[in-house]
Amino acid sequence: MFFDQLINSLTLGSTYALIALGYTMVYGILQLINFAHGEIYMIGAFIGLIMVSYFHLPFYVALIIAMAGSAILGVCVEKIAYKPLRESPRLALLISAIGMSIFLQNSALIIAGPAARPFSQNINYGSFTIGGMHISTLQITIIAVSVIMMIGLHFFIMKTKMGKAMRATSYDQAAARLMGIDIDNVISATFALGSALGAAAGVLIGLYFNSVDPTMGAMPGLKGFIAAVVGGIGNIPGAMLGGLLLGAAEVFGTIYISSYKDAIAFTLLIAILLLKPSGLMGSTLREKV
């Protein structure tokens, strides 16, 4: 029983971590909470659904297309809703983010309708038992894909030229510009990368719960934000840790404390804000994006 729930918590937590990475990367660069990120997650899930159910593409091909489509959407959102307001007060950016979130969600409602759609039944996943622990191949797929993406992101941030430019920009944007770094390109790359990770989470969650709908980004988007704050918003390893902790808190809290898992998530957020406002890793890891 315990190990079954541990696998469930890792499955849920790894997707929260992917969403949280999008929040924390954008915050690290612009100090902006991108509330439209949940809707990008939703649109990524829809792209994956269309690719799998209507074009009958293999799952991993659909996942890559969903990530690419959402990366382009993320860049468009940044160019339209945030770039013209970069020199404005942060409240203006926050309002613009909320407005873009509402716009994307309502656009999806108009185009797709409010009904939830299942993924194609052609995708079948089996399960097996190890030492009394039941694991589905879908759970392994979700955890493996998430871990690969997080490792890939870490490599990208630490080893590539663009990753180093992101880190430099997150430390000091003005100094990075003086060093010849194209800040606009860095910001676009940050939105593209964060949106792609959010889309991957959307496809994985849509497949896990076999349901995609235009409002699916609202609560997971908030949970991703909570995970980012718990880990220390602006801190990439913190976002990963926060996602896994939030998944564990929800799964085990639902079993041992209360069935109101959303309340557990927000209680965790309040507790972190009261006890350590900078997040669990907010003051110990200095490198951020």
Phi, psi angles (nearest 5°) of residue 106 = -70, -35
84/7 Cα distance (integer angstroms): 44
**Per-residue pLDDT, 284:** 54
| Two structure tokens written together for 206 | 């849509």
Model pLDDT, residue 20? 92
Give the model's pLDDT for residue 286: 52
Token pair for 101: 């979130």
Neighbours of 172 (CB within 10 A): 11
Give the closest residue to 240 by CA, choosing from 252, 251, 227: 227
Distance of CA 276 to the CA centre of its chain: 22
Q: Is 103 exposed, middle or buried (0-12, 13-18, 19+ CB in 10 A)?
A: middle
- Amino acid (one-letter) located at 237: P
Q: What is the pLDDT of residues 158-202, one digit of tens each?
A: 999 999 999 999 888 889 999 899 999 999 999 999 999 999 999
Dihedral angle sign, alpha carbons of residues 94, 99, 102, 107: negative
β strands within 113-256, DSSP E:
127-130, 133-136
Nearest 5°: phi and psi at 32? -120, 135
Distance CA 52, CA 165 (A): 36
**pLDDT of res. 138:** 87
Report the C-alpha gap between 29 and 142 in whole angstroms: 28
Write the CA distances from 90 to 86, 94, 258, integer angstroms: 8, 6, 37
For residue 61, the tally of other CB atoms under 10 A from its CB is 13
Burial class (CB in 10 A: 0-12, 13-18, 19+), 165: buried
Q: Which residues of the chain have pLDDT under 70?
A: 120-124, 283-289
pLDDT of residue 124: 67
CA 214 and chain centroid, separation: 16
Residue owning tokens 């894909």: 145
Determine the straight-line distance between the first and last CA of the chain, rounded to whole angstroms.
38
